[in-house]
Structure 1
């Protein structure tokens, strides 16, 4: 069941923008959209070849999972980094760290001992019907394994934030080269795309070849996918470099060339995506799913992975940056609850899948029920929690 547990999580903590800056509606909508994509990702995993923990499956969901797993965690870290450097410039260092602990550390600690055991109990109960929750919870926190599910993202993001705060104290100009490249990206986004691809390949492909696709660094509830940890760090700090610039003058300007060529980036995205499927076919049908996979296979697959991740990042950002909808859209209405939806959705989706397991329904029907019910219930739970005094400072 680990493939379900550790697949990319969902919401990013970039709500705490400096008060001196106005909100960027396009980026708000992009991150809320990604939150919904994460809920969809977790809703369909049991009905795929990858997860297939339900009697039914549909190949279309394999297409969804391959796409989402190959980009959205990197994109969440990228979006998270955008406002870190300006935030460090507007807040005293200790205040910044206090806010990160409140916004990230506290939710992670609470979720690790409540939300996540409740989610995994649904999986354990399927294997051991007579198991009580108290027995499962005690074994989880004392003996293990103690998976973190999708909230691993929260503690890793906190580590990146702390690292950024230390680097900022060394020099506030450390990310200026990325800043200048972002400004050039107003007219030539392809240059920044190439930089993102090269940087991603340098930090990701060697880690993938060495650790493989499935190895995780784990210590209690603290876990992160070994091959991707440096990739996530690269996206985070590249995002932070862009955030040094005025958005209206750089790569993420609503009036730049990125938005003018959104269909180009969408087309470019399809090429490495198709090539990843070619590599999956080679793995399954030609070389017979060896374990471990050959280094040459991992290197080639990793190259297509970073190309896809960078391209779809540009395609999604181009779409939302050029969007002229005045709002409020559904994404706008959900924006304030997006972080909470991410934190609470996992036990909801797993228990819905547990309940649907014995129903003789097509995979599409089960996934649709799981997805829409998860959205509604997670949103309702978050709205209720945010009414608790002080909760809005965390959620």
Structure 2
């Protein structure tokens, strides 16, 4: 349960450094993923496994299994794409200042405001007489102090700071990944295989060691134990692709990846279906033991990394080949996407709280929560960005 509740996320990936021409395809992919985050959080109470609302629908379990299995890794991948050239064109201290302003400041503000407001809705359901001031004081002083989806922000800042140190050691550290990206222009399957092998190497052992639900936590600083190195791998693989030769590498709009978009879409179905097979085995054959046996976690983790890498390629292929002219809804939302991620969580939880006692189908409740969250978080971000200096952060 905890891995899902924390799993969201989006993103300081909305803006590439000014030294690069904007990549419309990647902008649209980032904004699309932000909407996926909002959808993920909107439907969780209406799943059979979560079922914190009186109603549920099995289709939402299918949605959550898919989203939780790829979107955070993909956010880190996209976040890493322009880090290396940014480090090459900015003084080190300026880069650090920008990261602290863009990531550190929002994390601190959200940790003491947005997140307590969000989780108060859950606490109020359990203790109706609890006041917000009592809840806030208990959270700040005694804990637990959950970070909700903003864990992504501080982890991304940690990766950025790590990248800045590695760049100072050698600006050529990621050249092997970049060379493989160039080969990926004609043979994307080679890069896919590389990503799968790296992902399995860093993810499966930690999954077996810690299981799928354990989080490293210290106050509002938390990260899922089994996935922390997986996220780091996706971030630095993205950084390697973006280090040089971007337009002649894997993510070129004219590369082989875009020509095989339906192939990659089809490939995702296989590991996704196999994950459901493993879930059936866990629940119906081995009796859902706790802890899960290592052999089970190893097999499930392998299917997980296969799905994550495949759907990454499928989504990127779709947006890279998209020929939509003129501003789309994703283009209009792009500038506000990061802010929407930061402010959406209390909106989604309070809409779910409000709808709890209504006698409505799960699909209707989820639709109200999703579209309401999109509209309200977008409006709130647009207003916040009008504050002096806010656009430097949001």
For Structure 1 versus Structure 2, the TM-score category normalised by the shorter chain is over 0.9
Q: Alpha-carbon deviations, 1:52-105, whole Å to 9, x = none? A: 100100000000000000000000000000000010001000000000000000
Q: Alpha-carbon deviations, 1:245-271, whole Å to 9, x = none? A: 232200000000000000000000000
Q: Alpha-carbon deviations, 1:205-263, whole Å to 9, x = none? A: 00000000000000000000000000000000000000012322000000000000000
User: Partners of 1:387 and 1:303 in 2: how far apart?
Assistant: 46
Aligned to 2:38: 39
User: Partners of 1:169 and 1:226 in 2: how far apart?
Assistant: 28
Give the Å deviation of 1:18: 2.2
Asked if the contact 1:183/1:245 (under 8 Å) is kept, the reply is no
Asked if the contact 1:182/1:245 (under 8 Å) is kept, the reply is no
Aligned to 1:358: 357
Asked if the contact 1:4/1:51 (under 8 Å) is kept, the reply is no
RMSD of aligned Cα (Å): 0.8
Aligned to 2:386: 387
Aligned to 2:288: 289
> Can you give the 5+ residue segments of structure 2 that lack an aligned partner in the other structure?
none
Asked if the contact 2:13/2:75 (under 8 Å) is kept, the reply is no
Aligned to 1:156: 155
Asked if the contact 2:14/2:337 (under 8 Å) is kept, the reply is no
- When the two structures are aligned, how many residues end up with a matched partner? 394
Cα separation, partners in 2 of 1:309 and 1:299, compared to 1, 3 Å: same
Q: Tell me the TM-score normalized by structure 2.
A: 0.99
Give the Å deviation of 1:21: 1.1
Q: Tell me the TM-score normalized by structure 1.
A: 0.99
Secondary structure at 1:217's aligned position in 2? strand
1:126-137 residue pairs with structure 2 within 5 A? 126-137=125-136
Aligned to 2:222: 223
Please tell me whether residue 61 in structure 1 is matched to residue 60 in structure 2.
yes
Give the Å deviation of 1:17: 2.2
User: Partners of 1:371 and 1:4 in 2: how far apart?
Assistant: 17
User: Partners of 2:8 and 2:287 in 1: how far apart?
Assistant: 30
Q: Alpha-carbon deviations, 1:163-192, whole Å to 9, x = none? A: 000000000000000000000000000000
User: Partners of 1:174 and 1:196 in 2: how far apart?
Assistant: 17
User: Partners of 2:154 and 2:81 in 1: how far apart?
Assistant: 18
Please tell me whether residue 123 in structure 1 is matched to residue 153 in structure 2.
no
Give the Å deviation of 1:16: 4.0
Give the Å deviation of 1:326: 1.2
